[in-house]
Amino acid sequence: MVMHFVLAITNSCNGLRYVTRFSCDTFGFYVAFIYLQKGIQVITRQWSQGDGSLWLQVSVAMMVLGAAYLCGLIGNSPLFQRYVRKFIEDYGTPLTVIFFTGFVYFPHIRDTPIERLPVSRAFFPTQDRSWFVHFWEGVTVADVFIALPFAILLTILFWFDHNVSSLIAQGTEFPLRKPAGFHWDIFLLGITTGVAGLLGIPFPNGLIPQAPFHTNSLCVTRLENDEDERGESKGHTRRVTDHVVEQRVSNLAQGLLTLGTMTGPLLVVIHLIPQGVLAGLFFVMGVQALEGNGITLKLVFLFKDKELTARSDPLMQIERRSAIWIFVALELIGFGATFAITQTIAAIGFPVIILALIPVRTWLMPKWFTPQELAILDAPTASPFTMESVGGIHGAEESPMASGESPTEEGDEAEKGQAGSLMPEQSSSRRRPSKRRTKEDDNGIGSSSSDDRT
């Protein structure tokens, strides 16, 4: 808690100006594989109940993955009416959990012994102890110094995990208008960390970040007719983010719902959920995280048939194809080192490797890549508008807003987070809206878990 306060007061978050997509994509790739690993671990534990239990749980996990992924595809397709698509996209996953929880109680299946989610008594710790930790009893000065190195590593983890999650949730693909509050967030995180320590409950951070899913669910999108240079429709539409519903209501609702899961009736319901459903949820989040990750998109580009690759793809502008391979290889090396250390007793030190990628990207990689190549392969994670609160973007020219000039139309788009990386996943959102539009597509009311930092 004290170290969090020090980090907030000393403006340590200004170091985020050096963070780019390079380290964020590496971290996101690692997170996606942690999801998949946890799902596999849950499945492997089902052998204790016999082969029948194992295969039932595997089947349930795969069906949860397939159904939830299908709901996401429908949300991005032209099928059904707008409100139907949005409902399926936002609420398809929780409805899938409900359905497959009941699925295991169908006739001829319910007799199969399966492991369910473990629960405790309502509003009671999982261990037989009081809520408040009596830290003054039996704790010596030596114990404090023994714990200090681990506290430092946890602080590094929290600082990086929280701030990078905030950056990803406020990425250039989200046209945000409200300013960020990185320093205040770290100070608040220190308070909640201290309270969690006194209560002996899991810390409120240091978890796998899900914030981008929430921000994405708060986006209001529209369908636009794609037109050629003469203004004639090409016969298909594309989905463009119009704005983000920036609020804290859904964050508060999620917190209250989490508190509600500690009540007796809901604990009974939660205990009915098979562990295979939990594994399926891990698989869903892992696949979704991998699908939109920059490393995955670059690998897909590299393995594409050149003749079938669109000339408008920004990566086609790079003359040295080897530069793309080297860039992806460096990201995969960072991911491999991070994933490897988490499988050892030194797992708590994995943020150190991710942090080491920042100076590598800032000072070493410009010696190996040309400025044009780095501009296409990598870019600041968040827009100049978001990064203004941490001293701006490293190496970027002074923006019109910072110099007091009136922003141009292009500069205004940058302030709203619409101008940024030329990565493939963002290229569609950078195009100007066409003159022909269909009606607004989504209402921006999301239901994804975790919080955003907008």
Per residue in 191-247, pLDDT tens? 999 999 898 888 877 554 456 778 888 888 877 776 666 666 566 677 788 888 988
DSSP letters for 338-380: HHHHTTSTTGGGHHHHHHHHHHIIIIIHHHHS-HHHHHHH--B
In this predicted structure, what is the pLDDT of residue 179? 85
Per-residue confidence (pLDDT) for residue 445, from 0 to 100: 42
For the chain, give the number of residues.
454
pLDDT tens track for 386-424:
888 888 887 665 434 333 343 334 333 333 333 333 333
Helix (H, G, I), strand (E, B) or coil at 439: strand
Q: Are 124 and 148 spatial neighbours (Cβ–Cβ below 8 Å)?
A: no
Q: What single letter denotes the amino acid at residue 241?
A: T
Say how far apart CA 226 and CA 231 lie, in whole Å: 9
**If we measure between CA atoms, which residue out of 244, 283, 266 comes closest to residue 119?**
266
What CA–CA distance (Å, rounded) separates 282 from 149? 31
Q: Are 36 and 286 a contacting pair, CB within 8 Å?
A: yes
Q: Please list the residues that pair with 223 across neighbouring strands.
A: 239
The answer to whether the beta carbons of residues 168 and 24 sit under 8 Å apart is yes
Query: What one-character-per-residue DSSP string does 222-281 give?
Result: EEEEEE-TTS-EEEEEEEEEEEE---SHHHHHHHHHHHHTTSHHHHHHHTTSBHHHHHHH
Q: pTM higher than 0.85, yes or no? A: no
Helix 141-169 with 2-9: angle, nearest 10 deg: 50
Confidence of residue 6 (pLDDT cuts 50, 70, 90): very high
**Residues 245-288: tens digit of each pLDDT:** 988 888 888 888 888 888 999 999 999 999 999 999 999 999 98
Beta bridge partners of 440: 222
Q: How far apart are CA 315 and CA 321, in angstroms?
A: 9
Cα–Cα distance for residue pair 388/376, rounded to 1 Å: 22
The single-letter DSSP state of residue 307 is: G
**Contact between 429 and 418 (Cβ < 8 Å):** yes
